[in-house]
C-alpha cells in the first residue's frame, strides 16, 4: 500500500500546532505591566452602560470625560468620578437616546489614580533599607540637596541610591505587590522618551501607602502582582532602565493625597537602634559591616582613594576591598 505524503497545508498546521504547544509548555516570564483597570461599554436594547472593573489590589479613582456625543441623555452628569474598591466592578453611567426616534452616539476618555484618598503612613511603621548587600551606598539625590529629576510631588521626598547593576533590592516594609513592570532594557538615558521605560515594583502597605522601587534590572523581578512580601525579602535586582543617568535605585514612599500622588518623608531603621534619615551624599549601610549611615574612618579613606566624586561603581567597590 502506497503511503501518501502529507500536503503542505497539513505540514504548516503541524508546525503551528508545535509552536502553540511549545508556548504552552514554556515558562512564562512576566514582563509587561498588568492592567490595573478595565473600562468598557456594555450595549443594551435601549441603552448603553459604562462599567469599570478594578483588576488590582488597591482602590482606584477613575474619571470619565465626554469627548463627543449626539442625541444622548445620561443617568449622571459628566465628567464622572468614582472610587472603585480593590477587585470590584461598578456601573458608572447609563446612556440612552434623548430622542428615541433618532440614532445616538457618545465617545469618552478616562483617567485613573491609584490609592485610597488621604491615606496616611502609620507613625509606628518601620522601614528597612531597600537593598541586601554588605556594601555601603551613597545617596545621590534627596530632598535636601540639588534636584535633578525629583521635581514632582510624587518624587519630592524620593531618594536615589547609587549602586551597581545587579545589586539585590529588598522590600522595605511588608505588603502586597500591586504593580510589576519588568521588560525594559538597562539602557538608561536622561531623555524624555525614556520616562515611561523604567522597570519598577510597587508594594502596597496596610495603611494605604505604597513603596516604589524604580530603574530595576530587566527581567530581574522575583515577585508577581498580588503576592504578599515581607520586609527584607529580595524582590528584584537594581538596574539602569528608563530615565536614568547612571545605575541606581530610586526609592519612594507614596500615597494618594486629595487626588494627587505624593511622596512622603521616610526614615529607615538603624541596625543598631534608632533610625537613619537619608540625606544628600549620606551613606547607607545594612549594618553587615557598618551600622551607621556614615561609613567608618577606614571606609571613608577607601572611598576617597577608590572613587571619583563619591560614586561607588563596580571598579570603585572592587578597589575598596583592598582597604
pLDDT at residue 116 above 70?
Answer: yes
Which class would CATH give 131-320? mainly beta
Phi, psi (deg, nearest 5) at residue 155: -125, 10
pLDDT confidence bin for 274, thresholds 50/70/90: confident
Q: Which residue in 107, 133, 51 sits closest to 84, CA to CA? A: 51
Highest mean pLDDT among 16-25, 55-64, 276-285: 55-64
pLDDT at residue 27 above 50?
Answer: no
| Residues sharing a CB contact under 8 Å with residue 97, sequence separation 6 or more, in sequence order | 46, 71, 72, 73, 103, 104
Which three cell numbers mark 43?
A: 450595549
pLDDT at residue 194 above 90?
Answer: yes
Burial label, 88 (beta-carbon count in 10 A; 0-12, 13-18, 19+): exposed
pLDDT confidence bin for 135, thresholds 50/70/90: confident
pTM: 0.79
Ranges 204-208, 239-243, 276-280: which has the least confidence: 276-280
Domain parsing of the chain, residue ranges:
37-114, 131-320
Which class would CATH give 37-114? mainly beta
- DSSP SS3 for 188: coil
Give the C-alpha separation, 128 to 15, whole Å. 51
Do 100 and 73 contact (CB within 8 A), yes or no?
no
Q: For cell 468620578, what's the residue?
A: 81
| Residues sharing a CB contact under 8 Å with residue 221, sequence separation 6 or more, in sequence order | 30, 180, 182, 199, 201, 235, 236
If one counts every other C-beta atom within 10 angstroms of the C-beta of residue 281, the result is: 14
Beta bridge partners of 2: none
Q: Which residue in 171, 175, 179, 176 sits closest to 200, CA to CA? A: 179
Give the C-alpha separation, 25 to 149, whole Å. 43
DSSP 39: E
pLDDT at residue 83 above 80?
Answer: yes
- DSSP SS3 for 62: strand
Same CATH fold assignment for domains 37-114 and 131-320: no
Give the C-alpha separation, 248 to 186, whole Å. 11
Give the C-alpha separation, 77 to 66, whole Å. 10
Give the C-alpha separation, 143 to 158, whole Å. 7
Give the C-alpha separation, 305 to 307, whole Å. 6
What is the per-residue pLDDT across 97-107, written as a single tens digit (0 to 9) for each? Answer: 999 999 999 99
The pLDDT of residue 16 is 39
Give the C-alpha separation, 221 to 235, whole Å. 6
% of the chain with per-residue pLDDT over 70:
78
Give the C-alpha separation, 68 to 77, whole Å. 14
Which three cell numbers mark 116?
A: 485610597
The string of DSSP codes covering 155-169 is: GTT-EEEE--TTPEE
The pLDDT of residue 81 is 97
The pLDDT of residue 302 is 57
Beta bridge partners of 97: 72
Helix (H) or strand (E) holding 13: helix 8-25
pLDDT at residue 91 above 90?
Answer: yes
Q: Which of residues 27 and 46 earns the better pLDDT score? A: 46
Do 217 and 184 contact (CB within 8 A), yes or no?
no
142: Cα separation from own chain's centroid: 19
* Mean pLDDT of all residues in 190-205: 94
DSSP 215: S
Amino acid at each position: 500500500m502506497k503511503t501518501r505524503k502529507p500536503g503542505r497545508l497539513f505540514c504548516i498546521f503541524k508546525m503551528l500546532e508545535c509552536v502553540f504547544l511549545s508556548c504552552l509548555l514554556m515558562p512564562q516570564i512576566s514582563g509587561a505591566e498588568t492592567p490595573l483597570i478595565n473600562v468598557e461599554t456594555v450595549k443594551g436594547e435601549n441603552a448603553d452602560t459604562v462599567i469599570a472593573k478594578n483588576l488590582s489590589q488597591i482602590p482606584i479613582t477613575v474619571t470619565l470625560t465626554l469627548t463627543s456625543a449626539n442625541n444622548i441623555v445620561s443617568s449622571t452628569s459628566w465628567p464622572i468620578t468614582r472610587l472603585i474598591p480593590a477587585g470590584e466592578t461598578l456601573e458608572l453611567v447609563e446612556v440612552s437616546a434623548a430622542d428615541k426616534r433618532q440614532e445616538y452616539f457618545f465617545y469618552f476618555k478616562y483617567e485613573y489614580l491609584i490609592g485610597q484618598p488621604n491615606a496616611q503612613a502609620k507613625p509606628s511603621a518601620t522601614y528597612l533599607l531597600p537593598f541586601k548587600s554588605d556594601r555601603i551606598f551613597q545617596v545621590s539625590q534627596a530632598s535636601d540637596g540639588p534636584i535633578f529629576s525629583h521635581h514632582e510631588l510624587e518624587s519630592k521626598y524620593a531618594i536615589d541610591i547609587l549602586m551597581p547593576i545587579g545589586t539585590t533590592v529588598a522590600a522595605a516594609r511588608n505588603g502586597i505587590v500591586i504593580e510589576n513592570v519588568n521588560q525594559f532594557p538597562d539602557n538608561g538615558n536622561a531623555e524624555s522618551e525614556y520616562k515611561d521605560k523604567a522597570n519598577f515594583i510597587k508594594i502596597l502597605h496596610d495603611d494605604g501607602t505604597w513603596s516604589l522601587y524604580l530603574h530595576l534590572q530587566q527581567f530581574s523581578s522575583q515577585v508577581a502582582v498580588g503576592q504578599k512580601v515581607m520586609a527584607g525579602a529580595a524582590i528584584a535586582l537594581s538596574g539602569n532602565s528608563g530615565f536614568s543617568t547612571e545605575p541606581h535605585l530610586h526609592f519612594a514612599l507614596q500615597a494618594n493625597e486629595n487626588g494627587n500622588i505624593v511622596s512622603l518623608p521616610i526614615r529607615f531603621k538603624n541596625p543598631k537602634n534608632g533610625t537613619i534619615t537619608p540625606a544628600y551624599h549620606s551613606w547607607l549601610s545594612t549594618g553587615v559591616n557598618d551600622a551607621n549611615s556614615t561609613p567608618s574612618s577606614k571606609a571613608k579613606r577607601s572611598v576617597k582613594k577608590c572613587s571619583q566624586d563619591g560614586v561607588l561603581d563596580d571598579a570603585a567597590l572592587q578597589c575598596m576591598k583592598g582597604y
